[in-house]
Amino acid sequence: MVGLMEKKTHSNAQRAVQELRRLIFSGELAAGSDHLETELADRLGMSRTPVREAALLLESQGLLEMRPRKGVRILPVSSGDMREIYDVLTELESLAAERAAAAGYSNAELAALNTAISDMDAAIAAEDLEAWAEADDRFHAELVRLGGNSRVEMIVAMMSDQVRRAKASTLFIRPLPLQSNEDHRAVYQAILSGDPETARRIHRAHRQQAREILTGLLEKHRLKNL
Amino acid sequence: MVGLMEKKTHSNAQRAVQELRRLIFSGELAAGSDHLETELADRLGMSRTPVREAALLLESQGLLEMRPRKGVRILPVSSGDMREIYDVLTELESLAAERAAAAGYSNAELAALNTAISDMDAAIAAEDLEAWAEADDRFHAELVRLGGNSRVEMIVAMMSDQVRRAKASTLFIRPLPLQSNEDHRAVYQAILSGDPETARRIHRAHRQQAREILTGLLEKHRLKNL
DNA sequence: GCATTGATTTATGTATTCATTAATAAACGC
DNA sequence: GCGTTTATTAATGAATACATAAATCAATGC
């Protein structure tokens, strides 16, 4: 044990989860690639035990698959998968929008939502797709939080993780989402004015359109797996 | 190692998952109770390692919680939790109904659905709540399967697991669900005749009503935790 | 008598060891 | 030379061993 300062804020298993997620999202562990438990353990500087526990968790979240003797496989996301995921996101986010509108939030409580919309406007003006994607994520995450259903939050986060990898690959071929922010504003307005039906309807249409654009792009560009 | 015949169809970890699930659903591991890893390992006749892996999985599925030094806690399900769960079920099952109707299934492909409905009729006639609940589960599971979205299937199964414990406790205080099967038939008809909007709308109303009945009962009877 | 500090216990988190079994390579028969 | 069978390798699944840190208990000081 060297005398360097050790951070012990997290257990090794937790660090393994964080690190594996990072490696997956960054593409350092490519979709479809296989990795032995021992290899990952060496790479993360710990024994197989916490790595295995982390892999089990990530498997339950659909990011990878543990196949005996063949190693941990980073799951690819097909365009078919993306359709499934967007369908789930559409339903659950629409519910969140409806409930957020019914909750009667004050202007102040909707500040984060508003900020995200402004940031998207700014990003569009600057033609900064990266910044736009970040703010868009923020908008959707905040919307779901306002919906007040912890299970919806968890599921949406899980599905969003699976989308995240595809986003990085498709961002460059996407058009600037000009229409998108009008929808966001309309949803925001519906929530602020306490109109659940409108919030649900608009957000639902918004998500369905996003789904068509994304899956259309994926299939057009033959990006079957990401 | 005694010379008896060994069944090696499953790994110990898989057996641990099955067994723990059984113990939880049967109430032998009561909601809210704590159990040390060592205790569970002894009980299942294996070492802590596979028990830990099983517990990690069940934790990710919301059935229990692992709290350092306090043991594995079987999660209680509050009436608030039940509201959350039913909201998720409502949205995702409605989607499944819509998609099933859009898929254009033949009469033969809908046989299982039809059987479940008939079985519910029979159970109602016989005033057999147990049999009714089983057939009802079957109907909903089959509906989701017909929806053709594997993620929806997985999420619904997870949420249904959490509902299952509450069902056992509330079955005896529920009225015979006379109205319920009319809804089921209407959904079935909408799917058979390829009417997605109707299938969605009716199933959605059906689930929302179920939610009101269940959460109403839970709160009326002060069954805050199950 | 109560609080605070220190010792002890003990459950977990992790490393290590071991057994099993699938995959690969090698050797043999034809 | 090719297919089949056997031997070897190696990766996982599981048990055990161990270090750590939290919780309990005791003891001491006030």
Domains of chain A: 12-74 (1.10.10.10), 79-220 (1.20.120.530)
Q: Which of B56, B92, B159 sits opposite A56 (nearest CB)?
A: B56
d(CA A121, CA B149): 34
For residue A180, which phi and psi values (nearest 5 degrees)?
-50, -45
Does A53 sit within 8 Å of B151, measured CB to CB? Answer: no
CA A202 to the chain's CA centroid:
21
- Neighboring chain B residues of A155 at a CB cutoff of 8 Å: 88, 155
Residue written as token pair 């909007």: B197
Between CA A214 and C1' C1 the distance (Å) reads 72
pLDDT for the residue A2: 38
Most confident option among A9-13, A179-183, B1-5, B68-72: B68-72
pLDDT for the residue A217: 82
Q: Which residues contact A20 (CB under 8 A, 6 or more apart)?
A: A29, A40, A44, A51, A54, A55, A58, A64
Q: Which residues of chain A have pLDDT under 50?
A: 1-7
Query: Taking 70 as the threshold, does the pLDDT of residue B8 lie above it?
Result: no
A53 Cβ within 7 A of any nucleic strand C atom? yes
Backbone conformation region of residue A192, classed left if phi is above 0, alpha if psi is from -120 to 50, else beta? alpha
pLDDT for the residue A10: 86
Q: Apex CA B159: angle with CA A80 and CA B142, to 5°? A: 60
pLDDT for the residue B43: 96
d(CA B52, CA B48): 6
pLDDT for the residue B138: 95
d(CA B13, CA B54): 6
Pairing type for strands B71-74 and A34-35 reads unpaired
B87 Cβ within 7 A of any nucleic strand D atom? no
What is the per-residue pLDDT across B162-191, written as a single tens digit (0 to 9) for each? 988 877 677 667 777 777 788 999 999 999
pLDDT for the residue B225: 67
Cα B167 to Cα B76, B77, B150, B172, B191: the distances in Å are 13, 11, 25, 9, 27
| Confidence category of residue B143, pLDDT binned at 50, 70, 90 | very high
CB proximity under 8 Å: B 130-149 to A: 149
- Neighboring chain A residues of B95 at a CB cutoff of 8 Å: 87-88, 91
Does A94 sit within 8 Å of B87, measured CB to CB? Answer: no
d(CA B199, CA A215): 25
Q: Which of A57, A87, A92 sits opposite B149 (nearest CB)?
A: A87
Chain B contact for A55 (CB, 8 A cutoff) = no
